[in-house]
Amino acid sequence: MKNIVILISGGGSNMAAIVQAAQREDWAGRFGARVAAVIGSKAGAPGLELARAQGVPTEVVEHKAFAQEADPRAAFDAALAIAIDRHAPALVLLAGFMRILTPGFVQRYEGRLVNIHPSLLPAFAGLQTHQRALDAGCQFAGATVHRVTPELDHGPILGQVVVPVLPGDTAQSLGQRVLTQEHRLFPRVVAALLAQAA
């Protein structure tokens, strides 16, 4: 059985969708993998409690703990790598993980590191994706699952979902509709990746 490690910073709803998919019998056959650990970058991330409620072990690598280091980003990534490598994961999933990773970290997990982003990349890399889509007058928004490369939100695209922008949409209403679709997209892409690697 292969291991998956999921990195989170917040609510963890995408993480929960992956855990559920891996635990469901019909998906389990397709996944052939289990979520071995959920690692949070903040002790208070609500997703950690959600993971524990689903029976998944959690760990915290608190990014703030490295603020005094000469190179805080590199020190955080090194600690994160130690926590991840204990599980020898086939895939490391970024599910609402809001830290920028160093090129060294990205290289270490090349071919195994996958992110979900709430826009139709290459449009709207970075933050505030839904507001920026509304401001631009986009008629369609969506989400993208992609391989992680050193450039933020720019790796090869593995899957996308398109969500129409509706009259009167706010960033919040659009974001909620996109998030619901993220929960379908991410497990589907992960299942396909695991099947390829089998």
Contact string 133-152 vs ligand GAR (x = CB under 6 A): ----------x---------
- Shortest Cβ 45–ligand GAR spacing (Å): 8
- Shortest Cβ 144–ligand GAR spacing (Å): 9
Query: If binding is defined by CB under 6 A, does position 13 make contact with ligand GAR?
Result: yes
Residue 39's nearest CA partner among 73, 75, 1, 89 is 89
How many other C-beta atoms lie within 10 A of the C-beta of residue 159? 17
Q: Which is nearer to ligand GAR, 112 or 177 (CB)?
A: 177
Query: If binding is defined by CB under 6 A, does position 42 make contact with ligand GAR?
Result: no
Q: Which is nearer to ligand GAR, 23 or 180 (CB)?
A: 180
Q: Report the interface residues with ligand GAR, using CB under 6 A.
A: 8, 10-14, 47, 95-96, 116-118, 143, 179, 182
